[in-house]
Amino acid sequence: MQVAKHKVVVIDYTLTNDQGAVIDSSKDGEPMAYIQGMNNIIPGLENALDGKQAGDSLKVTVQPSEGYGERDDSMQQQVPREMFDTQEGIQVGMQFHASDGDRVHVVTVVDANDTHVTVDGNHPLAGQTLNFDVTIVDVRDPTKEEMEHGHVHGPGGHQH
């Protein structure tokens, strides 16, 4: 079966950055399952997989504009330490969930002193060119429930 809009696609993948370092891989766990055309994954990867078949392997290079976006320096801000629930052990590299209206996103601590913590709201992969090594394990029709939820259930998908 061919990858097309609203098909469930199951992939094995390894993601490396331009320096060749492995950022993420399904090899440590189970393949990832998503629904094509539902914004489950980044557009650059989704577009490259469109029309491919189960068993196909491909290398995909995704530019930031088709991946996690360009870095935006205005998303870096200094916040008073009192804003954090934990006062102890705030360290560079730690990640927190921050709410911005009804939107929750992840911020990364990039600097911390006695009074203030500098957090970066950019996605950790923003501004990076992403190199995917992908093998399509399976392509199938979604269940009615999966289409209603907009994501895949079971192995490689949502467990709920």
38 is a contact residue toward Zn ion (CB under 5 A)? no
Which burial class, exposed, middle or buried, applies to 126 when counting CB atoms under 10 A from its CB (0-12, 13-18, 19+)?
middle
Residue 64 or 142: which CB sits closer to Zn ion? 142
81 is a contact residue toward Zn ion (CB under 5 A)? no
149 is a contact residue toward Zn ion (CB under 5 A)? yes
DSSP per residue over 61-124, as a string?
Answer: EE-GGGTT----GGGEEEEEGGGSS--S---TT-EEEEEETTEEEEEEEEEE-SSEEEEE-S-T
Residue 10 or 60: which CB sits closer to Zn ion? 10
Query: How are beta strands 76-80 and 116-120 bridged, if at all?
Result: antiparallel
Residue 71 or 149: which CB sits closer to Zn ion? 149
Residue 27 or 158: which CB sits closer to Zn ion? 158
Stretch that binds Zn ion, among 39-47, 103-111, 125-133, 149-157 (CB under 5 A): 149-157
CB of 146 to Zn ion, least distance (A): 7
| List of residues contacting Zn ion (CB under 5 A) | 149, 158
